[in-house]
């Protein structure tokens, strides 16, 4: 039976780390690049959402449908091109902006990247609903996952990993 992980910081108040918020704001303003954001995220706590999924229901004595069984699930974002991404949030406010009923699990950026690679996701999307969306993908995602898993020395390009150019593409469409 899976266990609930212990929080990284039991006293976490859910706010985004000031250095991360500043780096994302500078990135949005065009005064910082993706490397600056990655540097700020490298030691940061992120919040990964979990949501309840109804797996079984029944009609009760009064004719109302009642939850009988549910599971907690890690939602993934599916891009317009079919690629999947793991979601992460810098704080509780940005998580609630995306989905108020989601519950946060604390994780380091490196842990989130490793989980994304294990789930065969193409990216990690940070703060998908804003205030500033940031995408970690490609060689950067692979390198961060390798650091967390202890396999960084096996990367062919481990000498220098450059952040991919900032792209303002959206991973989702609002219809």
The model's pLDDT over 118-175, given as tens digits with 9 standing for 90+, comes to 999 999 999 999 999 999 999 999 999 998 766 655 444 433 343 344 444 444 433 3
The model's pLDDT over 69-108, given as tens digits with 9 standing for 90+, comes to 656 678 889 988 999 999 999 999 999 999 999 999 999 9
**Cα distances (Å, whole numbers) of residue 45 to 20, 31, 73, 105, 130:** 10, 23, 20, 10, 17
Angle ∠(38,130,112) on CA atoms, nearest 5:
45
Domain extent listing, the chain: 18-154
User: How many CA within 13 A on the CB side of residue 118?
Assistant: 11
The predicted model scores a pTM of 0.76
Distance CA 94, CA 13 (A): 13
């Amino acid at each position: 039976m899976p266990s609930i992980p212990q929080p990284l910081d039991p006293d976490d108040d859910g706010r985004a780390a000031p250095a991360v918020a500043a780096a994302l704001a500078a990135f949005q303003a065009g005064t910082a690049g993706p490397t600056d954001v990655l540097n700020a995220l490298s030691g940061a706590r992120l919040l990964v959402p979990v949501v309840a999924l109804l797996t079984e229901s029944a009609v009760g004595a009064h004719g109302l449908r009642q939850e009988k069984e549910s599971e907690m699930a890690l939602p993934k974002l599916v891009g317009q091109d079919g690629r999947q991404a793991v979601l992460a949030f810098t704080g509780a406010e940005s998580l609630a902006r995306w989905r108020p009923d989601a519950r946060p699990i604390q994780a380091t950026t490196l842990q989130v990247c490793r989980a994304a690679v294990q789930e065969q996701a193409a990216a990690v999307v940070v703060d998908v609903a804003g205030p500033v969306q940031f995408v970690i993908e490609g060689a950067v995602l692979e390198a961060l996952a390798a650091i967390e898993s202890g396999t960084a020395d096996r990367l062919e390009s481990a000498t220098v990993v450059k952040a991919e150019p900032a792209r303002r593409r959206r991973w989702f469409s609002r219809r």
